[in-house]
Amino acid sequence: MNQQELSIIQLVLHASFVVQLVMALLLAVSIASWAAIFRKLRALKNIQADNDMFEREFWSGTSLNDLYNAAAQNARHSGPMERIFASGMREYQKLRERRIQDPGALLDGARRAMRASFQREMDAAETHLSFLASVGSVSPYVGLFGTVWGIMHAFTGLASLQQVTLSTVAPGIAEALVATAIGLFAAIPAVIAYNRFARDIDRIAIRQETFIEEFSNILQRNLGVHSPSGH
């Protein structure tokens, strides 16, 4: 094992400058990719936990006004679903204060506010996804570029030799192939993480859209009441 590790290190150290530059770039991208993966894992876990907690509170029978007051006081630490709810309630109450009595206008205003908040939350949830997609799609080609360059460099160096054997060709080609291996090492985790995160975000989006519809139905039932005091 130690010999294998040393041999890989030797291959990297003896590679041409361009190939070493490609390897260093891919390693830096891989580190950044793993950092983005761990941040996104933690962020999505927090989103799901916050949504679970708010949804339990929402369906526990607590009045809408109490929920809204709690959301306003806890705005800095609230979750996406709670912020969507607060946006709808804020617009609903503003329209009621303006003496707007048209049920359709009240409901449409609250829904527009919730949809705008929903879009902001989804944009935030999708942060770093494009970076992972880029890493997954581009890294193999960057590694392949390093490999092609390394092979060209190896064969150029062999041109002056009278006799070429496998032992003279193999080191140069092996050095070049390390670049492709590092490219795949960077790309594969990024692709797997991207697919998982995209699936998780789709589920979060469906859940939040369902909440918007359910909350809209509650507001619609309460439109005949001066203030939405319960649900």
Phi and psi based region of residue 63 (left: phi greater than 0; alpha: psi -120 to 50; beta: remaining): beta
Residue-wise pLDDT tens digits, 150-170? 888 777 766 665 665 555 566
Q: What is the rounded end-to-end Cα distance, in angstroms, of the chain?
A: 65
- Shortest CA distance to 148 belongs to which of 176, 175, 185? 176
Residue-wise pLDDT tens digits, 87-130? 999 999 898 888 777 888 889 999 999 999 999 999 999 988 99
* SS3 call for 219: helix
Domain ranges of the chain: 19-222
Range 207-216 average pLDDT = 95
Q: In one letter, which amino acid is 62?
A: T
Instruction: Compute the C-alpha angle 62/65/70, nearest 5°.
Output: 80
Q: Yes or no: say if 37 and 132 are a contact pair by the CB < 8 Å rule.
A: yes
The maximal CA–CA distance of the chain, rounded, in angstroms, is: 97
Q: What is the pTM of this model?
A: 0.80
Q: In one letter, which amino acid is 211?
A: F
Range 65-77 average pLDDT = 87
Q: Indicate if the pLDDT at residue 62 is higher than 60.
A: yes
